[in-house]
Structure 1
Amino acid sequence: MWHPSRMKYGIAATTSVTPATTPQSQADYVRRMAQTAEDAGFDSVWISDRTVYPKDLAARYPDEFGLGKADPSAQNVLEAVTTLSYIAGATTRVKVGMSVLVLPFRHPVLNAKMLTTLDVLSGGRLIAGFGTGWMPEEFATMNADFDERGRVTDEHIRAFMALCQGEEYEGSITSTAGMTFFPRPLQTPYPPVWIGGNSKAAIRRAVRHGDAWHGIGQSPSEVSNTRDAIGTLCETEGRPPSEVAITLRSTLVLDREVLDDTGQRKTLTGSPQQIRDDLNQYQDAGLDYLVISIDQPTEDDTAQAAFSFAKLANL
């Protein structure tokens, strides 16, 4: 099991976060951000997962992608496992993770083979971030059952853990009875499993199946509430709360305040002192691990912001 001894930091290298990246320059950008993470002292590099999305995304989901919200092009991401393999080959120290891989779109055996292969080739640096997905249109395109995504995700996770340990798996979505699975991962019993999502179902899944809960954009007070909820669920499940790390992915906007719908400054936006105060509040709230996405207009600005944040966080 994975037990953090202090608050750690990762950086998302998802190419769409920086609009300056073009299809021709994405490989260079990913390699640059991976090397920046390694040089600046970050613990890990992360990639998001998306297959397709509606052309009228902002019209369908105005609360998330409407005017003043997230840029729909932020969903233009490279395939996660392939990209992390590229990052692993371009680095030597940083861990590589998915924030998060949508399991219902993938075949559990092939997915497990891809991930264990990545763990072997990276020297045991994989963090397996898993989630259920949220966009019905994407599920329809992928011929996956949106309503069954929770159950399918749970089975995927159980199959992944069994195959990593050389065990046969028998379930409704696949069976490996009488079959040999290769390779086993370097990390035992399996790479750390982080469960993504802010919903109650995601939190329950993290307690039942995960080494960590991986939330999205929560404030320090929200993180504190989630930590308490996880502690209560752990007692119900007979599991020590220390076995479930509290992790978060959020967006860093350095030197510019971003306001929420109530006019309040969003966490991790603003001056260096405001960012430092936010990090202290996250630490006090019980956050073990923070993965930052960086909102800057150019690749150079993004790399510089990563180094500036590393100094603020004393990496």
Structure 2
Amino acid sequence: MAGGAVSLAWGIQLPVQSQSTLYAEAWEAGGGPADLVEIARAVDRAGAEYLACCDHVAIPRRLAGAMSTVWYDPVATLAHLAAVTERVRLLVHVAVVGLRHPLPAAKQYATLDRLSGGRLVLGVGAGHVREEFEVLDVDFGRRGAVLDESIDALRAALGPEEFPEHHGKLYDFAGLGQRPRPVQSRLPVWVGGSSPAAVRRAALKGDGWLPQGDARERMPAQIARIRRLRQERGAAGPFTVGAIAEPLYVGRAGWDVGRRTLTGAPEALAESLREYRSMGVDQVQVRFRSRSRAELIEQVDVFGAEVAPLLD
């Protein structure tokens, strides 16, 4: 679906910058900017397609125990990491774009794309934390409709025109110039989420799909639906199908990495990940179990050198 590519690309969501108890390792609690820089450099060096940063404005007390309140701003973080990397793409996974007016958001994204030499990928999602919407006076109940128009408005504001124009129910602007423009003539928008509405939105409004929580066995049916929807609509152009793999550990861990973690020799891990490609997946997000920054960088290095070449 991504223009006939045969190789399975891989990317990684950075540690430290978001620390939900669902995935954060214990060592990340003491992590900071130096860790992000060194890990981003390692990911860039290892040949990853992208590194990713999450988005939440503020976490209510009722969710802080599970989600934590550590959520670095994605634009600031990715701009910082753009300066210390060379080729890896910078993915916002995902921006809750409905929380922000499209014009100031587009100013940030266009600037980041310009500063990074055209490496930004904008992942977008509807959001799920009611209090974030309420405090910013955005209708949580209509967040799907807000996201739909936000995508259209951002498409206009991030296009080639110096004076973008959009006339919708929520946002209306024209005659206001914004430079610098993005380096990319069409900045890719990948839509996140696995609900029926999110999958439909990805198929009809996005340049790619970022599933959230789909087990392997669900992926073929989801991908088939995306293909059907795009065919029915006559959608053309490249489309990137993503997946999130089970946690990984290359080699023999020697410590408890959890029963769901895929472990073993590079050949065995590559064989397992190639199943995603056979389903029609173009890029897979990987997460390595680790007890320290050093162990994570070692995992990234060995994956890039010994597993990634076997994904072709």
Same fold (TM over 0.5): yes
Q: Provide the C-alpha distance between the structure 2 equivalents of 1:86 and 1:146, rounded to a whole number of angstroms.
A: 31
Offset at residue 301 of structure 1 (A): 1.6
The more displaced of 230-239 and 112-121 is: 230-239
What are the Cα deviations for residues 80-118 of structure 1, in whole angstroms up to 9, with x where unaligned? Answer: 111000010111111101111111111211001100110
Q: Provide the C-alpha distance between the structure 2 equivalents of 1:76 and 1:216, rounded to a whole number of angstroms.
A: 20
Offset at residue 35 of structure 1 (A): 0.2
- Residue 49 of structure 1 corresponds to 55
What are the Cα deviations for residues 63-96 of structure 1, in whole angstroms up to 9, with x where unaligned? Answer: xx5xxxxxx33x6221111100001011111110
Q: Confirm or deny that 1:106 pairs with 2:100.
A: yes
Selected match of 1:136 from 108, 126, 130: 130
Q: Provide the C-alpha distance between the structure 2 equivalents of 1:116 and 1:41, rounded to a whole number of angstroms.
A: 25
Q: Provide the C-alpha distance between the structure 1 equivalents of 2:297 and 2:166, rounded to a whole number of angstroms.
A: 44
Aligned residues: 293
Aligned 8 A contact 1:217 1:250 in 2: no
- Residue 12 of structure 1 corresponds to 13
Selected match of 1:223 from 212, 219, 224: 219
Letter paired with 1:76: V
What is the RMSD computed on CA atoms of the aligned residues?
Answer: 2.3
Q: Confirm or deny that 1:185 pairs with 2:185.
A: no
Letter paired with 1:219: A
Selected match of 1:172 from 162, 169, 174: 169
Q: Provide the C-alpha distance between the structure 2 equivalents of 1:103 and 1:110, rounded to a whole number of angstroms.
A: 11
Q: Confirm or deny that 1:86 pairs with 2:80.
A: yes
Selected match of 1:253 from 248, 251, 261: 248
Selected match of 1:163 from 144, 150, 157: 157
Q: Provide the C-alpha distance between the structure 1 equivalents of 2:217 and 2:208, rounded to a whole number of angstroms.
A: 18
Q: Confirm or deny that 1:209 pairs with 2:205.
A: yes
- Residue 41 of structure 2 corresponds to 35
Offset at residue 183 of structure 1 (A): 2.2
Q: Provide the C-alpha distance between the structure 2 equivalents of 1:174 and 1:210, rounded to a whole number of angstroms.
A: 19
- Residue 244 of structure 1 corresponds to 239
Secondary structure of 1:129's match?
strand
Q: Confirm or deny that 1:296 pairs with 2:296.
A: no
Instruction: Give the 3 Å change call, closer, same or farther, for CA 43–215 of structure 1 in structure 2.
Output: same
Q: Provide the C-alpha distance between the structure 2 equivalents of 1:303 and 1:4, rounded to a whole number of angstroms.
A: 31
Q: Confirm or deny that 1:21 pairs with 2:28.
A: yes
Aligned 8 A contact 1:253 1:296 in 2: no
- Structure 1 unaligned blocks of 5 or more: 60-64, 66-71, 260-265
Instruction: Give the 3 Å change call, closer, same or farther, for CA 192–41 of structure 1 in structure 2.
Output: same
- Residue 263 of structure 2 corresponds to 270
Q: Provide the C-alpha distance between the structure 2 equivalents of 1:141 and 1:295, rounded to a whole number of angstroms.
A: 36
Aligned 8 A contact 1:10 1:292 in 2: yes
Q: Provide the C-alpha distance between the structure 2 equivalents of 1:4 and 1:76, rounded to a whole number of angstroms.
A: 39
Q: Provide the C-alpha distance between the structure 2 equivalents of 1:243 and 1:221, rounded to a whole number of angstroms.
A: 24
Q: Confirm or deny that 1:314 pairs with 2:306.
A: no
The more displaced of 10-19 and 125-134 is: 10-19
Secondary structure of 1:90's match?
coil
- Structure 2 unaligned blocks of 5 or more: none
Offset at residue 147 of structure 1 (A): 0.8
Q: Provide the C-alpha distance between the structure 2 equivalents of 1:136 and 1:162, rounded to a whole number of angstroms.
A: 28
Q: Provide the C-alpha distance between the structure 2 equivalents of 1:203 and 1:243, rounded to a whole number of angstroms.
A: 16
Aligned 8 A contact 1:217 1:251 in 2: no
- Residue 286 of structure 1 corresponds to 280
- Residue 120 of structure 2 corresponds to 126
Letter paired with 1:245: T
What are the Cα deviations for residues 160-215 of structure 1, in whole angstroms up to 9, with x where unaligned? Answer: 11122213111222222222222221101x21110001111111111111110111
Offset at residue 243 of structure 1 (A): 3.1
Q: Provide the C-alpha distance between the structure 1 equivalents of 2:141 and 2:286, rounded to a whole number of angstroms.
A: 31
Instruction: Give the 3 Å change call, closer, same or farther, for CA 77–250 of structure 1 in structure 2.
Output: farther
Offset at residue 2 of structure 1 (A): 6.5
Aligned 8 A contact 1:101 1:129 in 2: yes
Identity over aligned pairs, percent: 28
